[in-house]
A and B are shown apart, each in its own frame.
Chain A
């Protein structure tokens, strides 16, 4: 069964704090893909990153970084020095070779100025 769990429903941080959004996935596939999307209040989902199952290298993009660990089936997302514009709902998703996506329930992040 394919499943994505985002245990943190809501997080609030004060501006400039670092915050990590957790994502744990379940799959029996050997080839799969992991994604993070941002959904601001406007509603449109913004693609942030894709990771292939065979590439465990962590990635940093500006204030964003992702930690992929197959041993714990986790794909966590860290925002460094958070800003008010980071306030949004963040979705982690698992994709398979059949192009099906399984979304987590999302984490609502509020950055307080």
Chain B
């Protein structure tokens, strides 16, 4: 149980275009979903936290207009990287949690974004 999927697993796009990444909890309803960014050989950096039906809470330094997050249902959250630039190239990972506060997060397999 507690499976989280992400789509696509890899995407290459041209500078200036937008890319949408989907995150789905397959066998449970996720109260909260999270989006992380991971640079090579580095730790995960939390970008934003989203609860179904409400606006995402962004971490300091994360541009909310650039990284649009929509948590449409208890099983789906999307991250759209708008007007992507090469510096946005990274590994994006989503996670989902059953509840608020202290519960383990289950991670998706990640999406490797390359902006050319």
Q: A35-B104, A45-B93 are in contact. Are A99 and B49 (CB under 8 A)?
A: yes
Complex CA–CA separation, A56 to B105 (angstroms) = 21
* B42 contacts A105, C-beta separation under 8 Å: yes
How many interface residues does chain A have, given as a range? 20 to 34
Question: Do A47 and B102 contact each other (CB < 8 Å), given the known contacts A91-B44, A99-B97, A101-B46?
Answer: no
A97–B95 alpha-carbon span in the complex (Å): 17
Contact A104 B107 (CB under 8 A): no
Check if A75 is an interface residue, CB within 8 A of chain B: no
Residues A101 and B105 in contact, CB atoms below 8 Å apart = yes
Q: How far is the CB of A99 from chain B (nearest CB, A)?
A: 5
Q: What are 12 A-B contacts defined by CB distance under 8 Å?
A: A43-B109, A43-B110, A44-B107, A47-B107, A52-B102, A91-B43, A96-B102, A97-B101, A97-B102, A99-B103, A105-B43, A106-B43
